């Protein structure tokens, strides 16, 4: 993703390609799961970044909050539930 941004692809397009494009490339509804959008009935995968990815190429490496399948895995920069 960083390389795409450094090559000049706008951050919004990179994120869209990696999130929404991933669901479409998995067959959309045929894959048996809905992800890539924030909507009722869809898997809740959300991150919060420490810096603005439009101003910091490495922002995607600096996640302070991570939620995957509606479970919080990282909060305030600290990993949770990792064994």
How far is residue 53's CA from residue 63's CA, in Å, rounded to a whole number?
11
Tokens 């795409």, residue located: 4
Give the Å distances, CA to CA, from 11 to 2, 8, 19, 30. 9, 9, 12, 28
Q: Domain containing 34 — which CATH number?
A: 2.30.40
Q: Could you read off the pLDDT of 28-83 as tens digits, one per residue?
A: 888 887 776 677 777 767 889 999 988 998 898 999 999 887 789 999 989 997 76
pTM: 0.68
Q: Which domain holds residue 62?
A: 2-79
**pLDDT for the residue 15:** 84
**Cβ contacts of 70 within 8 Å, gap of 6 or more:** 43, 44
CB 15 within 8 A of CB 5: no
Domain count, the chain: 1
Who wins on pLDDT, 13 or 38? 13
**pLDDT for the residue 68:** 82
């Amino acid at each position: 993703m960083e390389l795409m941004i450094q090559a000049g692809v706008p951050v919004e397009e990179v994120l869209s390609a990696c999130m929404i494009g991933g669901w479409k490339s998995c067959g959309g509804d045929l894959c048996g799961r809905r992800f890539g959008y924030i909507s009722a009935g869809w898997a809740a995968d959300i991150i919060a970044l420490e810096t603005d990815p439009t101003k910091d190429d490495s922002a995607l490496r600096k996640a302070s909050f991570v939620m995957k399948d509606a479970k919080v895995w990282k909060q305030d920069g600290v990993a949770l539930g990792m064994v």
